Amino acid sequence: MNVSPDSYPAAVEESSSVSGVSWGAIFAGAAGAAALSLILILLGSGLGFSAMSPWANEGASAKTIGISTAVWLALTQIVASGMGGYLAGRLRVKWANMHGDEVYFRDTAHGFLSWAVATLVAAVLIVGSVSGIVGSGVKAGATAAAGVAGTAATAAGSAAGNTSSDQYGYYIDSLFRDDRPAAVSDDAAHGVVVRIFTKTMANDGQLAPEDRTYLAQLVAQRTNMSQADAQARVDQVYGQAKQAVADAKLKAQQAADAAAKAAATAALWTFVSLLCGAFVASLAAIWGGRRRDAVTYVETRAYSNTSSIR
């Protein structure tokens, strides 16, 4: 009877009721990989904090810290996954009457499964807190980019002692406008200006003719300037305020773009690190499996001290 080389008759001798997966070895390797990953991450965090400095132009730069973090993450994955894969391959049961290719496949699967279990455990423990931090940062950046104009105007109103600059303050002020503004306190005058600036910057950013004229009259009354000079000052100051708000918006947008770029880079490096970890774990499991199969059992016998008499 001719048997093709691909039939592997030796593999048929193995009982079909025996599982090809040694879950005990896989969980042992995953536990070792997760523990070593935690230790290495804590070590990397300590080294990173020691290299940072709250003072300007001191300590490692942000670029250096980012590159070091990516390299340390990849190194952590390689070392921890390699150890977990080796443990999974070395601690598995010995498969008798099994073709070599099947043994290599099973060892590779054991290494991959140990890496997968360790990764899932780490994801459950870490991703929740990381996603909360990232979500808070993105939300804060979006809020800053969208509402910086209103925030700046509100801050200016607070500095001026304004306590009634609500969303209807501008319209309420318009009810009591006159050709010649009445004499009011400095705080009240500052509040009127803040509400006009806030309303204008929140819309198209251009002062309405009636608002410009009213502000010029208010400035002329309190500074004894001519109407033309007062209007020139209004245009100058409003232009400066508008430029400050535009600069704040630009900085907020740049910060949001930088945060998004950093998040994308971190995700890509994490992806590469995880792929390296899966490959190293599978390779280490093959190595550990070979060492496991190379073990020979030594049978010890007990000999009697008394000699037999013929």
Per-residue pLDDT tens digits for 214-268: 888 888 877 878 888 888 888 888 888 888 888 888 999 988 888 888 888 888 8
Give which of 77, 127, 128, 136 is closest to 272, Cα–Cα: 77
Per-residue pLDDT, 64: 75
- Percent helix, strand, coil in the chain, to 5, is 75, 0, 25
Largest CA distance in the chain: 140
Contact 141, 259 (CB under 8 A): yes
Beta-sheet strands, E only, within the chain = none
Please, is 176 exposed, middle or buried when counting C-beta atoms within 10 Å of its C-beta (0-12, 13-18, 19+)? exposed
Per-residue pLDDT, 237: 84
Per-residue pLDDT, 79: 93
Share of the chain above pLDDT 70, in %: 64
Could you tell me the pTM of the whole model?
Answer: 0.58
**What φ, ψ does residue 308 adopt, rounded to 5°?**
-80, 140
Contact 15, 99 (CB under 8 A): no
How far is the C-alpha of 290 from the C-alpha of 308, rounded, in Å? Answer: 44
Contact 121, 33 (CB under 8 A): no
Per-residue pLDDT, 83: 93
The low-confidence residues of the chain, meaning pLDDT below 50, are 1-3, 5, 7-15, 145, 148-149, 151-153, 155-165, 306-310
Contact 252, 246 (CB under 8 A): no
